[in-house]
Structure 1
């Protein structure tokens, strides 16, 4: 085998192998555990960088292994998969550093970091999946890897949340399995293809293709938190802050949205979507989810639950973009996959810092917290303004392209959805920013400020500053080829022809 065929497998193994070794470590072997974590991250960064350079130069990366009759296990590196893989790798690095500081004195760290690495391996494998069967395999492995993280604390509340999470995700996985099986019976399981591979079956098998699409979107919609399949997400907020960050920025909700992108453009294709009248219902569902999530976020008094409902709304921008079936809208949806990840992980890091350092969990407890934790509150402000769509932060770029894309395809009403969501985002984020900077501080905000060099543990502070800066830089540098926007344009030019 050549290096181009082995590289996709190596990227998956770079987190899988350290994770399996970490399971065997004793709790007191902290230095070895940290070394394995960081070594795996560093290796994955190098491997992903090599694939990025190769794909930009036109190289093909494909690993294939016999798996099922007519359905090999395929890992391939294309421009679309690398957008998600790069996001996963960068945020795995940041979240690993954050988790090391967050769980410094906690029990069961080997179990946590073992499943944490398996979760990243499943996410990357899913992103690199070259056909539906491979995608389904890693999709189900992701459910199994994330469940122990959701219930990590072992409290009655976390166990209840875990049962809800498992019920939703296993049910969703079953629907995806049914959809994949139906499509396999109709068309086999060829590799994902730009423009899809079902055009020849539209006239003959139209009703069956519609059923398969509904099964896939409903199953993927569980992890993508489309209404009414979102109920697990707010309950899963009982998990530790690094898990919440992972669930919302990369590992779960993004896999659902990414799967919908694959199904729409690499299985069905724009022409089949229009011929089967599938795009309009998906567009309505995404628009309804955007507004519903924003309205529910406005009603929450607990910080992490407000952020959770914000995720329900924000991730649906990705589905909205691909359902519009226009080049500019697709660019907006794809780039939001990266932009939302950076901004949302920043907000969850900040929420974790507030809780871990000062015991702040509810919005009313945030009064004056910026005077006690100025760097964390600055990062929170950046993330919040980005979610609203304030330039030059990353979120503005996503919404600009989504709005322009809606006008391009004649769906002007989508602008009202985007405007309504932006106003609702402002309504539930700006009061938090005002409280943090301008409200009268509570007495306990001064508890240990004078005796500390930093406002919190430096391992908790460094990832917050990094992702907040990245959220600004990818907006400022959006016009360059190396930005997420530049890569999203490359994806559309190469893989989404119209």
Structure 2
């Protein structure tokens, strides 16, 4: 495997950060400000995609920004796993920017310049995590992302929003400063470096109680992954505007969490060490609890964004489950679910935002008959729901197929049962929404007290177009999974 030295990873990280001064300077000219955001997104995505041929050829791309002393440096490394995450996040930033323009204007949100500024910083941090070459670099950008997204969570500046932002901040910062940082220090003391290595940095180490416990410091310290019981920050962050929820729960924050856990599994511990210590199966049962309980709680929520939030808690653990089962099929399924979940879940959140902007509906119980007035929104919601459930040909089917194969390869029938039960629960909390929208009549009282009658409802084109695009893509990557499948297979090669 050839290593290519190139500044491209740094340029990909900086492209959105360099847009921040432009966004701030053009804050009084919304069209120009938003054009800067879109342009930065296009540049970032173009740089990321320019590295794809080298990665698919089995090469890695590296660039060292600064070395403090031996074993401690800020360094970038682009490989197949990082490319999966970078492709998804850089592309969806473009889509989310267009969606944000329509949403923020139609909802009359304040502080839009601050919003787009924090968005740009967040995407720089996200790419920094995707292209980190070691735990030190990952930790730096992980923390930057936490800080940059606090103003987004508290954007509305209400008492509820401030409380949600405070909880978000305390959860993520306290756990990263204790569990995660402790894990990084232990790895550095054992190995003398924290660099990610194919096969695992610690693969030659003998199994020990210290290494066993340290893995769970990473699993829970990377709280953005939403593993129970350290998941409560995620539903609390639902006070944010819907585009922020889409960013948090489909692209940047939560995917940074599970992506970082996959880095630890594949490139710090390695499959061999995980298997020798029995760590994989132990972790699989831990995250299985999250998969089932998250779905059960989602089933009980009437607020649409809360239902989607707990669905995210459950679905994130599919990614981790695939990695820790340590079989070829399960690992491919877990890696692919990073992309499949991202496109499907962002569609669902976009739909929730469309319902709020056009009809001021926030509760599932308010959606009877809304499909006749908002057919594009609810059709996209249905397609994305099928992906979350795992119905072919939607993207989620591919992930669940590989996860199911992986559980059988591992001879873990209880894990297979968890996948089947969670799929039934997925259907139970998603399909009734589509049924209500298209097949129930609007109750007479539902037209009052919620902002508008259904008959006055009109879809907003600037909001609807992005969600239709992401819904179509969630179908296409289910029918044509080759790109993400090739990258996933390159990771486990």
Moved over 6 A (4+): none
Q: Is residue 355–residue 362 contact of structure 2 (8 Å, CA) maintained in 1?
A: yes
Q: Is residue 339–residue 398 contact of structure 1 (8 Å, CA) maintained in 2?
A: yes
1:196 aligns with 2:204: no
Distance in 1 separating the partners of 2:53 and 2:26: 36
Secondary structure, counterpart of 2:392 in structure 1: coil
Q: Is residue 58–residue 490 contact of structure 2 (8 Å, CA) maintained in 1?
A: no
Secondary structure, counterpart of 1:201 in structure 2: coil
Secondary structure, counterpart of 1:61 in structure 2: strand
Equivalent residue for 1:265? 266
CA deviation after TM superposition for structure 1 residue 459, in Å: 1.6
1:61-460 correspondence to structure 2 within 5 Å: 61-70=61-70, 71-104=72-105, 105-174=108-177, 175-202=179-206, 206-220=208-222, 222-441=223-442, 442-443=446-447, 444-448=452-456, 455-460=458-463
Distance in 2 separating the partners of 1:464 and 1:488: 26
Q: Is residue 322–residue 330 contact of structure 1 (8 Å, CA) maintained in 2?
A: yes
CA RMSD of aligned residues (A): 1.5
Distance in 1 separating the partners of 2:432 and 2:83: 37
Distance in 2 separating the partners of 1:58 and 1:327: 18
Number of equivalenced pairs: 480
Secondary structure, counterpart of 1:405 in structure 2: helix
TM-score (norm 1): 0.94
Distance in 2 separating the partners of 1:64 and 1:144: 24
CA deviation after TM superposition for structure 1 residue 412, in Å: 1.8
Q: Which runs of 5+ in 2 are unaligned?
A: none
**Aligned to 2:469, which of 463, 466, 469?**
466
Distance in 2 separating the partners of 1:171 and 1:185: 22
Q: Deviations over 1:101-151 (max 9, x none)?
A: 111242211111000000011011001000010011111111001111000
Distance in 1 separating the partners of 2:284 and 2:98: 38
CA deviation after TM superposition for structure 1 residue 181, in Å: 1.2
More off after superposition, 373-382 vs 167-176: 167-176
Secondary structure, counterpart of 1:75 in structure 2: strand
TM-score (norm 2): 0.95
Equivalent residue for 1:496? none
Secondary structure, counterpart of 2:197 in structure 1: coil
CA deviation after TM superposition for structure 1 residue 190, in Å: 4.4
Q: Which runs of 5+ in 1 are unaligned?
A: 450-454, 494-498
Equivalent residue for 1:452? none
Secondary structure, counterpart of 1:269 in structure 2: helix
Q: Is residue 14–residue 40 contact of structure 1 (8 Å, CA) maintained in 2?
A: yes
Equivalent residue for 2:491? 491
Secondary structure, counterpart of 2:51 in structure 1: helix
More off after superposition, 78-87 vs 411-420: 411-420
